[in-house]
A and B are shown apart, each in its own frame.
Chain A
Amino acid sequence: MLDKPLNPRGPELRDGTAIGELIDREARAVSLRVMHDAEIHRLELEHLWAKAWIIVGHESEIAKAGDFVRRRIGEDKVILVRQKDGSIRGMLNVCPHKGMQVCRTDAGNAQAFQCIYHGWTFNRDGSFRGAPFKSAMYGDALKPEEQGLRPLRVALAAGIIFACWDDDAPSLDNYLGSFRFYFDMIFDRAEGGLEVLGPPQRWVINANWKAIAEQFGGDNYHSATLHRSLAEMKLVPGDPNTPDYWGLNNKKVSTEEGHGCIIFELNAMYEAIASMTKGDTSTSLDKLRMTPPAGIPSSMVDYLADRFSPEELKMLAETPPSVGGLFPNIAIIAFMAPLPDHSLAATYGIHSFMPLGHDKMEYIHWNFVAKNAPQEYREQCLFSSTLNISTSGFVEQDDNEIYGALQESARGFIGQQQSMQYLAISGDNKPEGWLGGGAVHTDFAKDDGQWKWWLRYFDYMTGALQGGK
C-alpha cells in the first residue's frame, strides 16, 4: 500500500466535486453528502459492491445438494447453490437471454433453474443446460458455453459464505487480513461448526446503508445515551453514569482492512458470579464453563481447549472480541446478554446492510448457534437474540430510530455541507504480548475504528486500491 496516494481524488460527481474531497483527512470529517446522493450510490455499485467480498449467507442454509438461496449484493440479485460435490457456487440471477430472474423464490432445492419467460434452463453450477426448440429456434447461433449465468467468486470462512464479483480482487484471506484472528475466535469456535437459527430476518429502513455500517466500525460511545433504557430497566446492575457500565474503557481493535471489534473485559463478571455461586475461576476453562462464549453450550466448552492455544483460550475467557464490524456492511454480535430473570443468554449473529438506492436499505439479520447444541440451548439463543438484537430487540429498536432521521439531515442542501466528525483518536497502543493483529486502542471508546472504516471506504471509492491490496 506504499504507492497509494495520500489524497486520491477519485471519480468526479456532476457538480465537479471529486469523491476524494468528501473526506477531510486533516479534520477527520466526512461530508454528510455521502449519505444522500444517487450519483454516489451508483459509484458505490461499481467501485465497492462489485469489488469487495460480501457476506451472503451461511453454508448451513444450503446443506444438501441442490439447495439454494436467493440473496443480493448491492442491487444485484444472486443465487448461491450447493453442488453435488459439496462446494457452493454463486451466480447472477439474470437470464442471459432477456434479463428475467431465473430464480423467483428465496430458497428451495433445484435440479436446474428454468427461466419462466422462454424456458432457457441452467444447471446447478450456472452453466447453460438447454432451451426449448433449441435447434429450430437458434440453429448454430446459440453457443452453450457462452450462455451460462454470470459466475460469482465464492469463499467460506467459518462456514460463512462470502462472494465477490471481481476476479482480480485479492483472496478472502487477504480481504479479512489481520482481522482473521478475531473473526475465527468469534465464529470458528464450535465443534462441528455453526448453523443459522432459521432463515434471516429482513426489513427495510429509509436510510443509507452507511449510516449503520460505520457505527459498527467501533462506535460504542453511543451506548451510554441511545441505549440508556437498558440501564433504566435495571437489567444490568451498576452505575450507568460511569464509563465502565457501558464498557467504554474496553479495548478496541481496528485493522487497515476496515474491520474492527470491541474486546469485552469479563474478569469482573466472573468474580461477581463466583462470589454468588462459589464457582471456580482458577483456569480459563473454569471461567468458560461458568459463562460459555455466545453460541456454545457449556457441554461444548471442553472442545475450546483443543481448538485454541492456552493463550488464546485465556483471551477468549477474559477478553473476548464481542461486537464489531466487517467492512463494508456487516455487524458482528457475540456476547452474553441478560434475560428478564438476570440470567445470561447468548446473543449471537450478524447483521448485513444492503443498499436499495441511496436513501433506503435492506437490513438482514442472521442468528447463529453451534450446530451440535442441544434443543434447549438453541431455544434460549433464539429467545435472547430476538429480545436483544432482532428488529424487535431492546438494542436495535432504538438504533433503528436513528438512521431515518439522520437521512433527513443529509437530504438538505445545507445539511449536506455538514459532516460526521471523528475527533477522538487514541492511536495504536497495543499492549505487550497482544495476540491478534491490527491496532489496539486502550483508552476510552474513541473514533479510531469508524475513522478507519471511512478510510477504507474512500480507498475503494477513489480507486486507491487498484492494482494492489
Chain B
Amino acid sequence: MDILTGKSTGARRPAMVETGDRIAYGDPDYNAVMDFLIQEARMLDQYELAQWREHLAPEIFYYMSQRRTLARGGPALDTGSYWYYENIDTLDLRINKFLNAPSAFAEDPPSRIRRYVSNLTLFRSAEDNAFVAESYLQLLRNRDDSPTYETLSCLRKDVLRREGDKWLIVQRHIMVDQAVLGTHNISFFL
C-alpha cells in the first residue's frame, strides 16, 4: 500500500490468456514472431535497453519462476517466490539503473551475454492481434577472466501483441530449469 495515497502498488498477476489454434512453422505470423524474438535477443545482447523498452506493453507482467526437485506428479513450478516479479515501473527502474547509474557495478564492466532463441511454438489467442509464444532460451554469460560460461536454459511463455508493425510483450513467464541458479546474480533480462 502506498502510504501517501493509500493506493495499492506492486505487480499484478494478469488473467490467464486463452490459447487458441497452433500456428505452424512457416506461417507468416510464425515468421513474424520468430523474427521479433531474434531481434529482441539481439537488442538485449547489445544492451540496447532503450530500444527494448519500446517493446514492453504498459501493463506488462514479467516474471521468472523458481523450481525445485520434487517427486514426479508434483508441481513443475513454484509459486510464492520468484527470481523476477516485475511490472513496467520496476522494469523501467532496472533499465534506468543500467543505462544511467554510474555505479551499476553488477554490469560495469558489462557481461558478455549471448541469447539463443529456438523451438518456437506459437498459438493464436482470443484476440486477433495477440499471440501466445512458447520459446526456448539458452543464455550464456561470460564475465572477467572466466573461460567458462554461466548458463541459463529456460522455457519462456509470452503473450505478444501486434500493434501495426511493432510487437509488444504483454506477459513474459520465464521458466528456468535449474533448481539452484547457475549465475551469481541476475542483472540482465531474459
Contact = CB atoms under 8 A, between A and B. Distances in A.
A306 interface: no
Contact of B181 (A201, A298, A403): A201
Interface stretch (B44-52, B88-96, B122-130, B160-168): B88-96
A294 interface: no
A397 B82 contact: no
Interface string A328-350: 00000000000111111100000
B112 to A, nearest CB: 15
Contacts, number: 174
Nearest to B82: A386
Determine which residue in B92, B97, B145 has the highest number of CB atoms from chain A within 10 A of its CB, and name it.
Answer: B97
B59 to A, nearest CB: 15
B9 A397 contact: no
Q: Is the interface of B mostly helix, strand, loop or mixed?
A: loop
A404 interface: yes
Interface in B165-190: 179-187
A379 interface: yes
A245 interface: no
Contacts of A286: none
Interface string B90-117: 1011101100111111100000000000
Nearest to A405: B144
B37 to A, nearest CB: 22
B4 A273 contact: yes
Interface string A431-456: 00000000000000000000000000
A362 B94 CA distance: 25
A226 B105 contact: yes
A204 B181 contact: yes
B102 A232 contact: yes
Contact of B66 (A201, A344, A405): A201
Contact of A233 (B96, B179, B182): B96
A107 B81 contact: no
A86 interface: no
Interface stretch (B17-25, B26-34, B70-78, B131-139): B70-78
A383 B90 CA distance: 9
A60 B68 CA distance: 17
B103 A201 contact: no
A200 B81 contact: yes
A106 B97 contact: no
B4 A397 contact: no
Nearest to A380: B10
Given A105-B71, A341-B9, A398 B1 contact: no
B85 A382 contact: yes
Interface in A373-401: 376-377, 379-380, 382-384, 386-387, 390-392, 394, 396-398, 400-401
Contact of A401 (B1, B106, B182, B186): B106
B70 A343 contact: no
Contacts of A379: 10-11
Given A199-B66, A386-B82, A344 B3 contact: yes
Given A199-B68, A396-B185, A404-B184, A233 B101 contact: yes
A339 B105 contact: no
A340 B104 contact: no
Contact of A106 (B3, B5, B10, B68): B68
Contact of A198 (B79, B183, B186): B79
A126 to B, nearest CB: 20
Interface residues of B, number: 50
Contacts of A391: 83, 181, 183-186
A15 B155 CA distance: 50
B147 interface: no
A276 B69 contact: no
A202 interface: yes
Nearest to A342: B4
A291 interface: yes
Contacts of B83: 201, 386, 390-392
Interface in A250-282: 273, 276-277
Contact of B97 (A196, A198, A233, A376): A233
Interface in A401-428: 401, 403-405, 408
Contacts of B94: 394
Contact of B101 (A205, A232, A277): A232
A107 B70 contact: yes
A343 B66 contact: no
Contact of B185 (A198, A226, A290, A392): A392
Most chain A CB within a 10 A radius of its CB, from B4, B10, B85, B187: B10
B187 A392 contact: yes
A51 interface: no
B183 A203 contact: yes
A276 B137 CA distance: 47
B179 A106 contact: yes
B153 to A, nearest CB: 15
B25 to A, nearest CB: 33
Nearest to A387: B90
A153 interface: no
B184 A204 contact: yes
A95 to B, nearest CB: 18
Interface of B: 1-5, 8-11, 64, 66, 68-71, 74, 78-86, 89-90, 92-94, 96-97, 100-106, 144-145, 179-187
23 contacts: A105-B70, A105-B71, A106-B70, A107-B70, A108-B70, A201-B181, A202-B180, A202-B181, A226-B103, A232-B100, A233-B97, A233-B101, A276-B4, A341-B9, A380-B10, A384-B10, A386-B86, A391-B181, A391-B183, A392-B185, A392-B187, A396-B185, A401-B106
Given A276-B4, A376-B10, 8 more contacts: A105-B70, A204-B182, A232-B101, A298-B1, A339-B2, A343-B1, A387-B86, A391-B184
Interface of A: 104-108, 196-206, 225-229, 232-233, 235, 273, 276-277, 290-291, 298, 339-345, 362, 367, 376-377, 379-380, 382-384, 386-387, 390-392, 394, 396-398, 400-401, 403-405, 408
